Amino acid sequence: MVNDPLAGDQAQPHGTNVVKLAAVVSLIGRFPALAGVDLSVGPGEVVLLTGPNGAGKTTLLRVCAGLAPVNRGDASVLGFNMTRRNDRRSVRRQVGLLGHSNALYDELSVEENVTFWAKANGADLASIEPALERLGLADRLRSVPVRGLSAGQRRRTAMAILVCRRPRLWLLDEPHAGLDAEGRDLIDSLVRQAVESGATAMIASHEPDRIAALATRSVVVAGGRIANGACP
């Protein structure tokens, strides 16, 4: 019997926002990538972030992951104060970020990559096999070095790592990039299942129509600010 890779207790703060940003400014060098963002995301929500290139969607996700600084304003993610360095470090362990890059080592095989990151993330090693099967990587692809994979297969491997990690907050930046129709449906179903298991998701995408069925709310980011839908 195959274990459900997404099942398990994922404690969520009750009655509190998973993400609460108030007038957040985040600088990349001297450039304000976020120039006063107000946004609240409740437990179990799937928030779609849309907007033109350079609008600040990626920086917004990185702020929520604790990877980009909060230079001004107040920010809380999963109850952690993101203006404090130690809190940012703590929140990193509880979120999962699928960015533009996949964080894979080209010389290692699919299985070696997933196993390394499962160990690094402190994930249950028993979740590796179900995750590989779920993402269609369990057969001939498992021993293939990642450098030999297509863009879509690399994306699936990165998603398998995220599934093993079982984050409380999924932060997905163009998750469908490079994937075929089957792969896109698979990502959608994994996100849906994670949310049903108690997780929350924020998805940046240039394909709002595709995510619309999945999202509970759509937020437009423009010029480093939220152009609509800041609060649920």
Partner 1 sequence: MIRDARLIAMKDLRIEKSSRVLTTQVLPFGFIVLILFGFGVSPDRRVVGDANRSVLTEVAPGLFWIAVLFAALLAFGRSFAVESTDGSLDALRLAGIDPAGIFLGKAAAVFLQLIILEVLLGVGAVVLFNVQLAAPLLLIAVVIATTVAISATGTLYGALAAGQSARDTLVPLLVLPALSPVLLGATRATESALYGPTSDGWPVAGLVAAFALLYTAAGIVSFGLLLDET
CB closer to partner 1 out of 93 and 231: 93
**Is the distance from CB of 136 to CB of 150 less than 8 angstroms?**
no
CB closer to partner 1 out of 92 and 206: 92
Tell which one of 103, 125, 126, 231 touches partner 1 (CB under 8 A): 103
Give DSSP secondary structure letters for 197-225: TT-EEEEE-S-HHHHHTT-SEEEEEETTE
- Least distance to partner 1 from the beta carbon of 6, Å? 19
User: Residue 151 interacts with partner 1 (CB under 8 A)?
Assistant: no
Radius of gyration of the chain (CA): 17
Tell which one of 70, 78, 97, 163 touches partner 1 (CB under 8 A): 97
- Least distance to partner 1 from the beta carbon of 109, Å? 9
DSSP state of 109: B
Contacts to partner 1 from residues 104-143, by CB under 8 A:
104-108, 112, 116-117, 119-122
CB closer to partner 1 out of 12 and 121: 121
Return the half-sphere exposure (C-beta side, CA atoms, 13 A cut-off) of residue 25. Answer: 9
Q: How far is Cα 163 from Cα 65, in angstroms, rounded to an integer?
A: 16
User: Residue 153 interacts with partner 1 (CB under 8 A)?
Assistant: no
Contacts to partner 1 from residues 10-69, by CB under 8 A:
65-67
User: Residue 205 interacts with partner 1 (CB under 8 A)?
Assistant: no
CB closer to partner 1 out of 145 and 208: 145
- Least distance to partner 1 from the beta carbon of 150, Å? 15
What does the block give as tokens for 87? 């809190």
Tell which one of 43, 51, 56, 96 touches partner 1 (CB under 8 A): 96
**Is the distance from CB of 209 to CB of 186 less than 8 angstroms?**
no
User: Residue 221 interacts with partner 1 (CB under 8 A)?
Assistant: no
**Cβ contacts of 148-154, under 8 Å, gap ≥ 24:** 149/110, 150/178, 151/177, 151/178, 152/178, 152/179, 152/180, 152/183, 153/110, 154/102, 154/104, 154/178
The site for partner 1 (CB under 8 A) is made up of 65-67, 85, 89, 92-93, 95-97, 99-108, 112, 116-117, 119-122, 145
